Chain A
Amino acid sequence: MSSISLPLGGDVRKTRQNSLTLLINRFGVFFMILVLSGVGLIVSPGFFSSTNLLNILNAVSYLGIVAAGIAFVIFCGQYGDMSAPMTMAISGVISVEFMRYGLVPAFLAAMATGLVIGAVNGYIVGKFRANAIIWTLAMNFILEGLVRWSYKGTQIYPDMATEKTYQTGFFLPLLAKLDRHIMDIDLVSRAQAFNGLATTYPLGVPLVLYVMFAVMIIGYIVMSKTTFGNQLRVVGSSYEVGRMSGINATGTVMKAFMMSSLFASIAGIFMTSLNRVGAFYIGQGYDFQAVTAIILGGMSLSGGRGSMIGVFGGVFTLGLISNILTLVGIGTFTQKMITGFLFIVVVAVNARSLRKLGRDYA
């Protein structure tokens, strides 16, 4: 018997994961939240007042919506969706264009735009296996060019429209051609309803926050409780394995990107409503922040790992960090720098711990 036993020491790879490592890997972000809360309490005694907590959540609600979408892309192993900022901007612009026919058409048009962008991204990344970051970065530049070119570099205000306004834009010339009475629409009341979206407080809580929680819950259910979620997990862990086990890998990746762009366009509508102007610079910086939040939340860049609960934790952590740094008196620019370094450290540590576990590269 002894002649067929393994060589001295046997297989040194761990077959079972340390439960503590697993716990930290899965819920590490909530330890971080605990520590940050302690720091916050030291910095300011009023840290846990409901106003401050609501402020923190409100500040990250847009980020939360975007991150919930990009989480799908990262979950299926595609590093990230860098076209989120311009998806937000273009959806905002289009919602302003259609706002004159009511809020519902505005929402539908904006979300349809998002879906189209996501479908294009998803097809090219899923079918041709283009590098997701590089392609979506290119897509972001294309969309920026489109918005700037069709508006000739100007912005679009919900409450103002002259004859000239109807000569620029994506659908405005077409709308003007179809509807001869377009100049008679009372823009002021419609614009009030549109601009009010971001400043509505049902039960004292901003509407955007409800939307964020709704989006996150939907995202959680889709990602963890449905067949599509399981397919995402398989394709995320290994594209080839997913494809060979009979999953339509291209379609799965495409759907993930469509989720991402759809959520980004919802965030874009609210962002535009908050800024009261549709322009190409709405949503700048959200791509990177969202990816940071997702990675903080324990999702691995190699895909197939993590959950929406972690994403919420990551988003909340970023909110806490920003809040504490502001309380200490550190400006937004330095905060940006700190977030960047934090991201690199977290990614490097994450990759290292996964490698230690003998898993894979992140």
Chain B
Amino acid sequence: MLKTRDNSELINRINHNRIYFFLALVVIIMTLGAPGFLRSGNIAPMMKTALLPIMVGIGFTFAMIAGNFDLSVGAVINVGAAIVMGEFNRFYALFGGESAGDGAVIAAWIIAFVLALAAGSLVGLANGLVVAKGKVHSFIVTIGMLTAMSGFVYTYSKGNTISANSYMLVDVIEKPFLRVPYLEIITWRFLIVSLILAFFEILLTKTRWGRDLFMVGSNREAAWQAGIDTDRKVIESFVISGFTAALGGILFAVSMNAAVPNYGERGINPLMLVLASTIIGGTVMTGGHGSVLKTAVAVITIQAIFNGLIGMGLGFDSQVLAAGMLLGVVVLGEAYALYRQSLKRGERPSLMKEAAELKAARSSNR
């Protein structure tokens, strides 16, 4: 093979930012195909549905940058949701219920949030410990955790939907600040998700911690040689994944005032969405490359596709099919790219070029 790879700067840059082009393309197609796609009444609910996968995608991206998959997020969402609702009800009743006033509600919510977030982080910690110290493949461990946790949620909630006995927080968290078209998407939930997204993007790109994580993902051995505690980095990335998945579930449950034990088991699985978005967003499956912000943009892109399908008059089942197809294409494309890369490994383009020039020179001499 005498072909040399064309590594021009522009193509690289376009490839790195492919998700923005993809989003633009989707928006253009959907605007043309689905009437009313760009109306505020359509965009606002769409963004609202995207908040959960964006939140979960943060941690998922972190785990993937460190070179691992966290498939347990699908169940950790439900763990967070069930615990925050169940524990709120328990402590609300403990503090005296309705007769105790607003103070009891706030105190109960704080305790419930802390407990639910701790539960999510604990699941992440367990995942991380088994992966890093036990040296077991992450997808094996986390798929076991997925089953264990979905069993836990059913046991905890006895298979029922749990609703909070107070509507105070729902009213606060879901109320838009401004009743202006397009700006009505800005609610407390939106702000919380945006702030956490910004925090983790900065952590990833601007701090030493983030650079170390990239190094662990791209070459674990080299990172260890450079003095990075690689096991600790992997465990931390899993804890972040558990934390954000639980927080996503918590915010979702609070905004609906209901925690179902099987959210996503029938229909469009959040795990599927997050997995597809993370890969579309440019995070490499083998680790060492990725961005939280791009994952979030990819989530919005996929939501736009679903939304447009509904706008075109296709049913929910076509959405499920589209989601599956999208994930399939993305995984296949990524696998194919890695396969091409592995074929090129060890190839020396400059030597090949030299050999070709030599051959050409020789034949012209003759």
Q: Give A contacts to B, CB under 8 Å.
A: 79, 82, 124, 127-131, 133-135, 137-139, 141-146, 148-149, 151-153, 281, 284-285, 288, 291-292, 301, 331, 333-341, 343-344, 347-348, 351-352, 355, 361-362
Contacts and interface: CB of A to CB of B under 8 A. Distances in A.
B151 A344 contact: no
Contacts of B150: 336
Interface of B: 69, 71, 130, 134-137, 139-141, 143-152, 154-155, 159, 265-266, 269, 272, 275, 285, 315-318, 320-325, 327-328, 330-332, 335-336, 338-339, 342
A143 to B, nearest CB: 7
B332 A130 contact: yes
Contact of B144 (A127, A148, A347): A347
Contacts of B321: 142, 145-146, 148-149
A131 B272 CA distance: 15
A270 to B, nearest CB: 23
Contacts of A129: 335, 338-339, 342
B137 A134 contact: no
Given A129-B339, A141-B323, A337 B148 contact: yes
B335 A135 contact: yes
A146 B321 CA distance: 6
A331 B261 CA distance: 16
Contacts of B323: 141, 145
B308 to A, nearest CB: 16
A343 B335 contact: no
20 contacts: A79-B140, A138-B272, A142-B328, A144-B324, A145-B320, A145-B324, A145-B325, A146-B324, A153-B315, A281-B266, A288-B146, A301-B137, A336-B150, A337-B148, A338-B148, A340-B144, A340-B149, A341-B144, A348-B136, A352-B134
A347 B71 CA distance: 16
Nearest to B327: A138
Residue from the set B140, B147, B318, B327 with the largest chain A CB neighbour count within 10 Å = B147
Nearest to B336: A128
A189 B143 CA distance: 43
A226 to B, nearest CB: 28
A197 B213 CA distance: 55
Contacts of B316: 153
A301 B144 CA distance: 14
A341 B141 contact: no
Nearest to A337: B151
Contacts of B324: 138, 141-146
A347 B136 contact: yes
Nearest to B321: A145
Contact of A336 (B143, B154, B265, B275): B154
Nearest to B319: A145
Contact of B147 (A135, A336, A347): A336
A151 B315 CA distance: 12
Contacts of B71: 133, 137
A361 B69 CA distance: 17
A149 B267 CA distance: 11
Contacts of A341: 144, 148
A134 B328 contact: no
Given A142-B328, A352-B134, A340 B147 contact: yes
A293 to B, nearest CB: 13
Please provide the 4 A-B residue pairs with the shortest distance between their CB atoms, ordered closest to farther. A340-B148, A337-B151, A145-B321, A336-B151
A359 to B, nearest CB: 12
B141 A141 contact: no
B155 to A, nearest CB: 5
A124 B339 CA distance: 11
Nearest to A151: B317
Given A336-B150, A340-B146, A148 B320 contact: yes
Given A133-B143, A152-B317, A351-B135, A138 B154 contact: no
Nearest to B340: A128
A362 B136 contact: yes
A144 B144 contact: no
Contacts of A139: 328
A343 B323 CA distance: 29
A149 B317 contact: yes
B285 A134 contact: yes
Contacts of B151: 333-340
A64 B137 CA distance: 25
B268 to A, nearest CB: 9
A138 B278 CA distance: 14
B335 A351 contact: no
B144 to A, nearest CB: 4
Nearest to B138: A133
Nearest to B271: A137
A153 B317 contact: yes
A145 B320 CA distance: 5
Contact of A288 (B143, B269, B285, B328): B143
Given A138-B332, A142-B321, 4 more contacts: A128-B332, A130-B331, A340-B148, A355-B135
B269 A344 contact: no
Contacts of A141: 269, 272, 320, 323-324, 327-328
Contacts of B320: 141, 144-145, 148-149
A331 B322 CA distance: 36
Nearest to B72: A340
Contacts of A335: 151
Nearest to A127: B339
Given A145-B322, A336-B154, A337-B151, A130 B335 contact: yes
Contacts of B148: 336-341, 343-344
A337 B155 contact: yes
A128 B145 contact: no
A164 to B, nearest CB: 16
